[in-house]
Structure 1
Amino acid sequence: MTRSKPIIDYTAYLAVRTFVCIIQAMPLSTCQAWARRLGWLFWHVLKVRRGTVEENLKTAFPERSPREHEQIALGMWEHLLLMVCEIAHAPRKINRTNWRTHLAMPQMELMVRRLLAPRPVIIISGHLGNFEMGGYLLGLHGFPSHTIARTLDNPYLDRWINDFRGATGQFILPKHGSSQRIEELLKSGGTLVLLGDQHAGEAACWVDFFGRSASTHKAVALFTLSGNAPTATGCVYRKGAPMHFEMEVAGLVDPADADFNLGSIPLLSTWYTRGLENLIRVAPDQYWWLHRRWREPPARQKKLRAAEPSDPAAARPAA
């Protein structure tokens, strides 16, 4: 079995490469049409993770009707499938001379000023919009970044995907064993991009997300506080046609500011989680509702949260 694993992995790698070649040979308009059809198939016929998606949408948008939930779910599937096509086409279609055709960034001056400064910068995003294009587009502008991601079990696919990410300067740090490299990155004034909407288990920081308690990784906030790093929450929306994006910043805080009042892991975690929630509400059909974001906190955590005083002002994203 061990001897056959490299053969199985390489066969899977060749199958994926062949599939990507087919996508690259198709116009993006055709890719979008097929994404819509396949999205309908995944939702109505195959019912892939349908129960999880329905439960998540009821939690996030209890005021909306089942019909509205279905429209969001169908839009999500079309978005996810089209996202794969955009990633496949990106190296051939977006470059340093035509990026303005594909990307708008209303807060460009604010972010460029921060990225050019000698201090570290942390950008917290989520599974919203085309999150894979965020680091790719930053690198295209001459701002390299580092992202923490799980190493794929298939080494051929892992190397190929990381080659795509690193083509413009987006470097991947393994999920485990990177603490020393992250510390060095922040000390050197680098840029760290993190996903802040992943379930972190019971021994995590529990904050409100769409009105329900959700587990978040303490390390996300800890990097900001320990590295004294300006931190932004943002995403890359698709705007209109495929391969047209808008990089949006929901909020920016700086631990060095005199009025910085988010000096603890719970307060900072609440701030960036609320920022991500606000971004999701703008385009809920571009969010990844497939994963189980909400799970019951342990009983002890429930008691601690019930005893904590509420502070709505501290949870609002800073401008």
Structure 2
Amino acid sequence: MSAPAPSSESQRLPLPLPPTRLVQVLGERPSPVVGWFANRLMDAVCALPASMRDGLARFVGWLAFTLGIRLRVALENLTHAYPEMSDAERRRIALGAYISMARVVLESINQKDHVEAAWEEPEVKGEAWEALKATIAKGQGALLVTAHFGNWERAGKMVLRRGIPLNALVRPLKGALNMRIVDSRIAAGAGLIYPKGAIAQAQEAMRLGETVLMLLDQSLPAKAAVFVPFFGRPASTTPAMAVVAQRTGAPVFVVMGVRDESGRRLRLEVEGPIPPPEGLSEQDVITAHTAAVTSVLEKYVRRYPDQWLWLHRRWKVQPPPEGSAAPQA
């Protein structure tokens, strides 16, 4: 049986190249020997049929859950988020989150993913997607926000495959597996923006009519964060998205890679633009805009709870005492 033809959208749009100013890889690579053996092992895994790779991901996720790796953190988070649920239901969601994470890892080390997956993914539809494409077509930049949900790595590649220049705000990584994922990002066409100087580089991307993708569900030190509600609890969150939006006027869209019931196929869902609230002070606008976008992320997590990374200590940083200095824009 012949492979299905790629969608007309995939045929029309060439794969973007990473901006040359944003291809620097920061991090710590393993020794050449360790790196060679690790990459050959990952090559062997990626050569398996898709059904076997997914079976391996489900086994690895189940094993990590069974061994209790960070299980206490996941169940504590779920207890706070869903106090009305039974323990059995919370454990079911936690197991799904472990499997989802294993799938992300195995899918993200596949260096051919940005080519192969284009044959399987449905076209993106909806007013928000059309608004995002229209923004880029006019030569304007846009801010994209996502979370550790579904497959955030593949979601970015889906945006790139549809002809939208994308730069991802990332942290320096280390180790063979992580550096393989970094190399895969660049091979897919993504530019990399690191925390030092991130706001200035994001503003430059807006000026050039590109997009910047940010994960908005990670804890930051209190001095660098704004605190916004997430599942009814204050969560330390980067203000970078709201700061850049305020300084540049760039529209903000939420972009989520949502798995279907099989777990093997992904669709891209887009919401926005999400405007900043009006009539507030500069600092209050930053906090309120961050909260508005975070509420959209929470909506997706509530809709598909087993696709979010409950293993992360999202609420570990508490708000500073009243009267402490707020982060500066």
Which interval holds the TM-score relative to the shorter structure?
Answer: 0.7 to 0.9
Compared CA separation, residues 243 and 299, structure 1 to 2 (3 A): closer
Match of 1:183 in 2: 203
- 1:32/1:85 CA distance change after superposition, 3 Å: same
1:311 aligns to what?
none
- Alpha-carbon separation, structure 1, partners of 2:245 and 2:105: 31
Aligned partner of 2:23 in structure 1 is none
Retained in 2: the 8 A contact 1:145–1:190? yes
**Counterparts of 1:104 and 1:227, CA distance in 2:** 30
Structure 2 counterparts to residues 263-302 of structure 1, below 5 A? 264-301=285-322
Q: 1:225 to 1:32 in 2, by over 3 A?
A: same
The offset of 1:253, in angstroms, is: 2.2
> Paired residues, what number?
293
Give the corresponding residue for 2:104: 83
217, 221, 240: which is aligned to 1:197? 217
Shift of 1:181: 2.4
Distance 1:25 1:8, change over 3 A: closer
Query: Equivalents in 2 of 1:235, 1:106: separation in Å?
Result: 13
**Structural mapping, 1:1-319, within 5 Å:** 9-44=31-66, 46-89=67-110, 91=112, 94=115, 99=118, 101-107=120-126, 108-154=129-175, 160-203=180-223, 204-241=225-262, 243-254=264-275, 264-301=285-322
Give CA deviations for 1:53-86 in whole Å, capped at 9, x if unaligned: 1111111111111111111111111111122222
Give the direction of change, closer, same or farther, for the CA distance of 1:153–1:39 in structure 2 (3 Å limit).
Answer: closer
SS at match of 2:273: strand
Q: Secondary structure at the match of 2:99?
A: helix
Q: Distance in 1 between matches of 2:70 and 2:230?
A: 21
Distance 1:297 1:252 in 2: 30
Contact 2:65 2:71 in 1 (8 A): yes
- Check conservation: 1:23, 1:88, Cα contact below 8 A: no
Hey, what's the Cα distance between the residues in 2 that align with 1:247 and 1:110?
15
SS at 1:143's partner residue? coil
Q: CA 1:103–1:86 in structure 2 vs 1: closer, same or farther (change >3 Å)?
A: farther
Q: Judging changes above 3 Å, is the alpha-carbon distance between structure 1 residues 20 and 185 closer, same or farther for their aligned structure 2 residues? A: same
Name the residue aligned to 1:313: none
Q: Percentage identity across aligned positions?
A: 28
SS of the residue 2:204 aligns to: helix
What one-letter code is carried by the residue in structure 2 that aligns with 1:216? T
Residue type at the aligned position of 1:67: A
List alignment gaps of at least 5 residues for structure 2. Answer: 1-27
Distance 1:211 1:201, change over 3 A: same
Cα distance, 1:261–1:131 mapped onto 2, change above 3 Å:
farther
CA distance in 2, matches of 1:231, 1:252: 5
**Paired residue secondary structure (2:234):** strand
SS at match of 2:173: coil
Distance of aligned partners of 1:88 and 1:158 in 2 relative to their CA distance in 1, 3 Å threshold? closer
- TM-score if structure 2 supplies the norm length? 0.80
Instruction: Say whether the 8 Å CA contact 2:109–2:177 is kept in structure 1.
Output: no
Which structure has more RCO (C-alpha within 8 Å, separation ≥ 6)? 2
Q: How far did residue 18 of structure 1 move?
A: 2.2
Q: CA deviation at 1:16?
A: 2.9
Q: Distance in 2 between matches of 1:125 and 1:7?
A: 27
Counterparts of 1:166 and 1:91, CA distance in 2: 12
Give secondary structure in 1 for the equivalent of 2:160: helix
Corresponding residue for 2:11? none
Write the distance in 2 (CA, Å) between the matches of 1:210 and 1:67.
20
- Residues 276-302 of structure 1, C-alpha deviations (whole Å, 9 max, x = no match): 000111111111111110025245249
Change (3 A) 1:248 1:8: closer
| Shift in Å, 1:37 | 2.2
Change (3 A) 1:21 1:282: same
Q: Secondary structure at the match of 2:272?
A: strand
Unaligned runs of 5+ in 1: 1-5, 306-319
The RMSD of aligned alpha carbons is: 2.7
